[in-house]
Chain A
Amino acid sequence: MAKSGAVRARSIGVTGSKKTGAKASTINAWQDDPEGLPSISRPVPKLATPPLKYKFKGKAPKAGAYAPGTSQFRYWTAAEALRRGADFWAPRLGVSRWQPGATLSVGLDEGDDLNAYYDRSELAFFHHQGDDGTVFYSGESPDVVCHEMGHACLDAHQPNLWDAPYIEAGSFHESFGDMSAILSALQLPSVRTKVLSSVKSYRASSLSRVAEQLGTALRQIDPSIVDPDCLRNAWNKFTYVDPNSLPDDAPASKLCAEVHSFSRVFTGAFYEILSGMLEIQSKSPTESDLAAIAADVALLLIDATGAAPIQPNYYAQVAAHMIDSDTKRFSGKYRSALVDTFVSRKIIPKNAVTSLNQSSKKTAKSVVGVALAEDKAMVTTQTHHVEVRDKRLGLGKQALIVAAPYQHRSFLAISASITHDAIDPTNRLTEATQRFVGMLLKHDRIDTGTRKHALRNADATSHIERQKTHVVVKDGSNFKLIRRKFACSAQS
């Protein structure tokens, strides 16, 4: 199969509506990856469809059925994949906008790199010329595009994950990107038909192989850094180990503590669960069954990421919440697929599901409401207001009021064998907040003079002023500390 858009562009050229001038209703697009399934005809995507709107940098080419290898084809295949992915996630996420704003900017070719990024301002894609002269465009692959879009979707849904300083939290974000690529591909009936038997019998497929072409490009540089057949294959046998015990780097054949490497543990479980869910859905599944379980597993992921506390053991937290979400949403319909996979891959300990296995396989709908109520009550956020007095704040005798939010879990249905602390966190919060403010003052990160929530670049005349992340503002008769921007860790 041809690897390069550029090579093919020379031989095929441009076709479609450009010559006639008529408004095209379809475009040509890859289904999953330039090295995956062949291109197909798709309706012209509307990038400005709310709630998750896009805007590409530069001028949009006229819609039409362009040949692979042309810049117009690359534009429309990226646009189609982004629209398809966002249309899948938007109703499930329940968000009204991206984390950065109403419209997400897309840079389709931002220079030379074999990568793609989401940085809370845009999705950025690149090109790179391989050793054999082939030019690879990361934005041409729906897998890569929908991976980055997945980061943006998860960020809109759970923004607290953005800067969570744990390997499992970062790895889950990467896994969500790959799961997003897989679920977005499953929105195409042609993909579902093609991969149905592979998912049913739990085999590798063009669905499990994420970003085949980017894998090929990277293999030219170093064959050991990617899987043999793609960037990352969701069909894998990786089981959970404490990432703290893993090396910083390793070839792709092994796990390491790097987030993309470790993401394969969760993505591997996801693909296996997908297969198990399909078997539960039907003994003789059709492509519409595959669509149905893709929708169901997406709901489980969204429920879980919305409820799971962000902790170092984030994989276990998400997995457990997926099982609980299945109980409340689907009366435990997919429990065996979820539990068997998460336990066999050691993502959750066996003893966490022992009592679940002892109860009936399906839970009566009459008791699901109780579970739902308990689940909602499980993670609660409270805000303590801590008074901080420091001469460096310039507030005289007045105290600075600092809001200190914290999450805690209530244990309504906890096993009697598990004990937990019931320590009042107020003292620890006060101490941590005072340390945090002290650290900000030490590093000159608090604007104590302007009292302005936002500071325009023109107002910030020096580099030091631009680095101030917090500002003291007047709030009635009090002074309070608010964050102006993220440029400094909030860790105390």
Chain B
Amino acid sequence: MAKRRRKTPTRSKKKRKVAGRRARAKPSRRPAPPLVADLIPQPTPEEVEKAKARFEAGILKREEAAPTGEPLQPGMTHEIVGETIEGKPVLKRKRFSAR
């Protein structure tokens, strides 16, 4: 009887330890979900330049920019604040409009 009493608590203690270890280890085995943002292609410098040029060309074509110092006419959102070394107009946003 005495031998049995000594062995029984030792076994159950071991079991508890193992169970605890498994419970902690389980979540770390699952991989983190992939981030969609990482899989969106990054634009090349050429694409960035092209996008900028296209945006600015549209502003100028639709006459949405006024020379510095002149009041913005209805619908205008940008100001022409100067020109680049290459002679292209430099635009600066002055406001957002509802339409």
Interface residues of A (CB under 8 A from B): 113-120, 138, 144, 147-148, 151, 162-163, 165-168, 170, 173-174, 177, 211, 214, 218, 226, 231, 243-244, 248-249, 257-258, 260, 307-308, 311-313, 316-317, 320-321, 323-324, 327, 332, 348-349, 351-353, 355-356, 359, 363-364, 366-367, 370-371, 374-375, 378, 409, 411-415, 418, 420, 438-439, 442-443, 445, 463, 467, 486-489, 491
Q: Which residues, 38 to 75 on B, are CB-close (under 8 Å) to A?
A: 38-43, 47-48, 50-52, 54-58, 61-62, 68-69, 74-75
The answer, among A165, A231, A415, A463, for a CB contact under 8 Å with B39, is: A415
- Given the interface pairs A118-B96, A167-B51, A218-B99, the reply to whether A487 lies near B81 with Cβ below 8 Å is yes
Contact between B54 and A167, CB atoms less than 8 A apart: yes
With A243-B54, A260-B99, A312-B47 known as contacts, the answer to whether A317 contacts B37 (CB < 8 A) is yes
Q: Are A364 and B27 in contact (CB under 8 A)?
A: yes
Closest 3 CB pairs of A and B: A312-B51, A119-B95, A366-B27
29 A-B interface contacts by CB (under 8 A): A117-B96, A117-B98, A119-B95, A138-B98, A165-B51, A165-B56, A167-B55, A177-B98, A214-B98, A231-B99, A244-B50, A260-B99, A311-B43, A313-B41, A316-B40, A332-B33, A353-B36, A356-B36, A359-B31, A371-B35, A374-B32, A378-B38, A414-B39, A415-B38, A439-B84, A488-B90, A489-B90, A489-B92, A491-B90
Complex interface: chain A residues within 8 A of B75 (CB)? 115
A166 touches which one: B32, B55, B91 (CB < 8 A)? B55
Shortest Cβ distance from A317 into B: residue: B40
B35 touches A375 (CB 8 A): yes
Which of B62, B85, B92 is close to A442, meaning CB atoms less than 8 Å apart? Answer: B85
Contact B91 A489 (CB under 8 A): yes
How far, in whole Å, are A371 and B32 apart by their CA atoms in the complex?
Answer: 6
Check if B36 sits within 8 Å of A323, measured CB to CB.
Answer: yes
Interface residues of B, Cβ cutoff 8 Å to A: 27, 30-43, 47-48, 50-52, 54-58, 61-62, 68-69, 74-75, 81-82, 84-85, 90-99
Which residues of chain B come closer than 8 Å to A378, judged between CB atoms? 35, 37-38
Given known pairs A115-B74, A257-B54, the reply for A364 and B37 (CB within 8 Å) is: no
Provide the residues of chain B in CB contact with A488, threshold 8 Å.
Answer: 81-82, 90, 92
Beta-carbon contact of A320 and B37 below 8 Å: yes
The answer to whether B81 touches A489, judged by C-beta atoms less than 8 angstroms apart, is yes
Check if B51 sits within 8 Å of A166, measured CB to CB.
yes
Residue of A with least CB distance to B32: A370
Q: What is the chain B residue whose CB lies nearest that of A410?
A: B38
Known: A165-B52, A248-B62. A371 touches B38 (CB 8 A): no
In whole angstroms, how far apart are the Cα atoms of A162 and B90 in the complex? 15
On whether the beta carbons of A356 and B99 are closer than 8 Å, the reply is: no
Chain A residues in 8 Å Cβ range of B57: 248
In the complex, A321 Cα to B30 Cα: how many Å? 22
| In the complex, chain A residues whose CB is within 8 Å of the CB of B74 | 113-115
How many angstroms from the CA of A364 to the CA of B54 in the assembled complex?
44
Q: Are B40 and A348 in contact (CB under 8 A)?
A: yes
Is B39 a contact partner of A352 (Cβ separation < 8 A)? yes
Given that A148-B98, A257-B54 are known contacts, is A324 also in contact with B32, CB under 8 Å in the complex?
no
B15 to chain A, nearest CB (A): 24
Q: Which residue of B lies closest to A178 (CB)?
A: B98
Q: Which residues of A contact B84 (CB under 8 A)?
A: 439, 491
Instruction: Point out which of A165, A359, A438 has the most chain B C-beta atoms below 10 A from its C-beta.
Output: A165
**Alpha-carbon distance between A420 and B38 when the two chains are bound, in angstroms:** 11
Bound together, the chains give a CA A367 to CA B27 distance in angstroms of 7
Name the B residues within 8 Å of A170 (CB-CB): 55
Q: How long is the Cα–Cα vector from A317 to B38 in the complex, in angstroms? A: 9
Contact A313 B40 (CB under 8 A): yes
